Amino acid sequence: MKKNKITHIIGRGSFIAKNKIEVKNGKKRVAVQAKYFIIATGGRPKVYPGMDFDGKLVISSKEAMILNQPPEEMIIVGAGAIGAEFAYFYNSYGTKVTLLEMMDRVLPMEDEEVSKELEKNFIKIGIAIQTSTTVERIETLKTKVKVHTNGNKKELIKGSVALLAVGITGNTEDMGLEKIGIKIEKGAVLIDDYGRTNVQNIFAIGDVTGPPWLAHVASAQGHVVAEIIAGHPTFPVDYSNIPACTYCQPQVASLGLTEAQARDTGHDVKVGRFNFNSSGKAMAIGSTHGFVKIVFDAKHGELLGCHIIGAEATELIAELAMAKGLEATWQDLARTVHAHPTLSEAIMEAALDAFGEAIHQ
């Protein structure tokens, strides 16, 4: 920040006008005036009735990152990306993990086949999974928690600690946003495609603007806003082409439409798959679980979505994001020569499979 001549003021800021904030630090008050403002206050885990955080027995992802030692038993409420990542992480350290999800599968936002594959792998390594299960309340004792659930049957699950991973809400409070008329909906600052709020000189980026709650989305939004403020030409963030990544093992990565979403939106689809157990590179690195699944429009060969579970999935997805951004077709992917042996060959093979030209299945 020194190199770029950025002034850093420590304190809590609050709008007192559309072009002025007041920063409080103890008894000190500093008024800061500017032509433009960017709200980038992030988000925090959602709190639900009967499931309040205490930071010790009932924790959020923040505390889960800095526990002094792995707990004996951990109950994770929510099997989205955060829940899945911590389930794998603590299981690897020897914690007995129970993963609870109110929807009918883990990673419910991912393609159904990916969810089933991850669940199979998680069960294999000893993670207990209960889907279609809601948590009614969490009871804290001196050194234990009791999680009261209501799934196929009412059940009481005991553990050393409960981790809540059930969503994010934006940090919008105590900043004077209502005072200057900033629109907020469901805990998020509303913005247009260029990051503008309804107050024209004020922008917002990152988790405070709502889903997708991803660091790379915040960075992309920041680039767009900075270009606008600097008066440079720019393009809006393409929210239909955002890679979603889950950093467990096997890794999960996806973008675009799932097969079900593509069909529901009226597409006649072609689906190509390639299993990593047919990949020479996957065999060489000893990681053959998972697959690449690509969804195309049957008529025009348009790339609609891609879903990967397996080794380095979060790296492989970048090729598909580039392809989709350039409006590549199945032929573009299928005819691009991929080096052998590589994991990325699976993308080429899945594209070939979609239109019946696969060889190495």
**Which residues participate in catalysis according to the annotation?**
340
> ∠ at Cα 149 (148, 152), nearest 5°?
150
| Alpha carbons 320 and 329: distance in angstroms, whole number | 11
CA 339 to chain centre: 30
HSE-CB for 331 with a 13 A CA cutoff: 4
Own/partner pairs for 225-228, CB < 8 Å, 24+ apart? 225/38, 225/194, 225/195, 228/194, 228/195, 228/196, 228/203
- Residues 138, 51 contacting (CB under 8 angstroms): yes
HSE-CB for 313 with a 13 A CA cutoff: 30
What is the maximum alpha-carbon separation in the chain? 72
| Alpha carbons 143 and 132: distance in angstroms, whole number | 28
- Tokens 């639900």 -> residue: 48
- Residues 354, 296 contacting (CB under 8 angstroms): yes
Give backbone dihedrals phi and psi of 346, rounded to 5 degrees, phi first.
Answer: -60, -30
